Structure 1
Amino acid sequence: MSLTVMSAGFGRTGTMSLKLALEQLGFGPCHHMIEVIHNGETQVPLWNAALAGKPDYAAIYDGYHSAVDWPTAAFWEETAAAYPDAKIILSTRSPESWYASISETILATVWKPETWPPQAVEWFKMVTKVLERSFGDARDKDALIKAFEAHEASVKAAFPDDRLLVHSAKDGWEPLCAHLGVTVPDGPYPRTNNRDEFFQHMKDADDM
């Protein structure tokens, strides 16, 4: 199986909703950080190797038809080059709302190593490196928003319009389905992974 769709959008830009949407449209299984949590013994070493400059994308995405969220978003250029026929999505939201969300969820856990449970330390170390790859040394609000905006600008500049869709969860099914050449399904676009759900996922990481 080979990736046919990938998102370059950072976490907390509706990536879990996009994962569910892609799977509903037939582009699953979809790789997401939750897959790394649930398959840490296999996935964490593979991503550590990628961070060390020795990626094995065939192994990372073995069994997956699409990929969203981090760690993929930190390797968007390399992944897009490895799968040149894959459609690209940039999941997005306003910079201010993104910062409000990530600062209260991901950064509130990953950037507090004293709270990491022993059984999840290797996962947290890997995620920390993934965030550093995306943000550099940015830590305060202004620097993080600047990194977010620079990332989005780079993605938009990298692909032609027929390969890239900039998509917000509020845009719903229509532009996504048009981009992927599939029929709009019945029912609402998925909306999930609020703050409470995020911390449940972190509990899953604690139980790794």
Structure 2
Amino acid sequence: MKVIGAGFGRTGTASLKAALELLGYTPCYHMYEVIQQPYRVRQWLDIGEDRARNWDEVFAGYQAAVDWPAASYWRELADHYPDAKVVLTVRDPQRWYDSVSETIFASALAERRPLSPRRRVIRWLVARRSPDFALFPQMTKATVTDRVFDGRIDDRAHVLKVFEQHIAEVEAAIPPDRLLVFDVREGWEPLCGFLGIPVPDAPFPQVNERAAFRRKRPRRLFRLIVRGR
């Protein structure tokens, strides 16, 4: 592990993943890996519920990790991989909240409501096709919404306070020569300078994380239900 992303989901982590992979830190771990490879859901649920925690097994073959659920454990990962550099992605707090509340938090809050007949059927089909993927809501609850936000994801003031405290905690815990506080709108220069790599002859990736979120999980559910994989 060479780069650890400490930034919350929806702070440009998908763009950072793409940028790091263009720079040779490939593959880079992201929540996308968990969605596409459902056995990883159970790995993270075991971590979130304190049953097992083998970082080398979780990140075997990966040179970098960004986004949740890895970012929920930035402190543990920074200790376990002392030579890895840490990138803390940041963005305007209000815009970040609008993005996360329409994606991750919206899905999590939906899980708290009674199941409609349609959702009950979908839940049953997914559980039959992929018992591991069926645990995805439980995993995100254990590793993100409960661990990071004490379950209070419908409390805007609380969530924004956690967001700002998180930035302060990372800045206080990680030495300045090991940490880059990074807004992906800054582009290649600060990231490449921090990593000691020449700026590539390519535009800095710009991934629309909100749109990607809306595509990825529904597409995965569709494949599980219709194709069985």
Question: Normalising by the residue count of structure 1, what TM-score does the alignment of the two structures yield?
Answer: 0.94
Deviation at 1:129, TM superposition (A): 1.3
The amino acid across from 1:84 in the alignment is P
Aligned pairs for 1:133-144 within 5 A: 133-139=147-153, 140-144=155-159
| Deviation sequence 1:6-28 (CA, Å, 0-9, x none) | 11101000000000000000011
Aligned pairs for 1:20-39 within 5 A: 20-39=18-37
Q: How many angstroms apart in 1 are the aligned matches of 2:108 and 2:152? A: 14
Q: How many angstroms apart in 1 are the aligned matches of 2:151 and 2:207? A: 30
Name the counterpart of 2:181: 166
Q: Does 1:129 align with 2:127?
A: no
> Identity, % of aligned pairs?
42
Deviation at 1:111, TM superposition (A): 1.9
Aligned residues: 205
Q: How many angstroms apart in 2 are the aligned matches of 1:194 and 1:181? A: 27
Q: How many angstroms apart in 1 are the aligned matches of 2:208 and 2:109? A: 20
Contact preservation (8 Å) 1:37, 1:204: no
Q: How many angstroms apart in 2 are the aligned matches of 1:188 and 1:137? A: 38
The one of 21, 45, 48 equivalent to 1:48 is 45
The one of 57, 71, 74 equivalent to 2:72 is 74
Deviation at 1:127, TM superposition (A): 0.8
Contact preservation (8 Å) 1:111, 1:128: no
Deviation at 1:196, TM superposition (A): 2.3
Deviation at 1:194, TM superposition (A): 3.8
Contact preservation (8 Å) 1:138, 1:147: no
Q: Specify the SS of the correspondent of 2:17.
A: helix
Q: Does 1:100 align with 2:98?
A: yes
Name the counterpart of 1:193: 208
CA RMSD of aligned residues (A): 1.4
The amino acid across from 2:139 in the alignment is M
Bigger mean CA deviation after superposition, 18-27 or 186-195? 186-195
Name the counterpart of 1:150: 165
The amino acid across from 2:166 in the alignment is H
- Greater C-alpha radius of gyration: 2
Deviation at 1:52, TM superposition (A): 2.6
Deviation at 1:64, TM superposition (A): 0.5
Deviation at 1:197, TM superposition (A): 2.1
Contact preservation (8 Å) 2:13, 2:89: yes
| Deviation sequence 1:108-150 (CA, Å, 0-9, x none) | 1122114584224301110111121111132311110001111
Q: Specify the SS of the correspondent of 2:86.
A: strand
Contact preservation (8 Å) 1:11, 1:70: yes
The amino acid across from 1:44 in the alignment is V
Q: How many angstroms apart in 2 are the aligned matches of 1:81 and 1:36? A: 23
Deviation at 1:61, TM superposition (A): 0.1
Q: List gaps (5 residues or longer) in structure 2.
A: 127-132, 225-229
Q: How many angstroms apart in 2 are the aligned matches of 1:122 and 1:10? A: 21
Q: How many angstroms apart in 2 are the aligned matches of 1:108 and 1:100? A: 11
Q: How many angstroms apart in 2 are the aligned matches of 1:29 and 1:188? A: 19
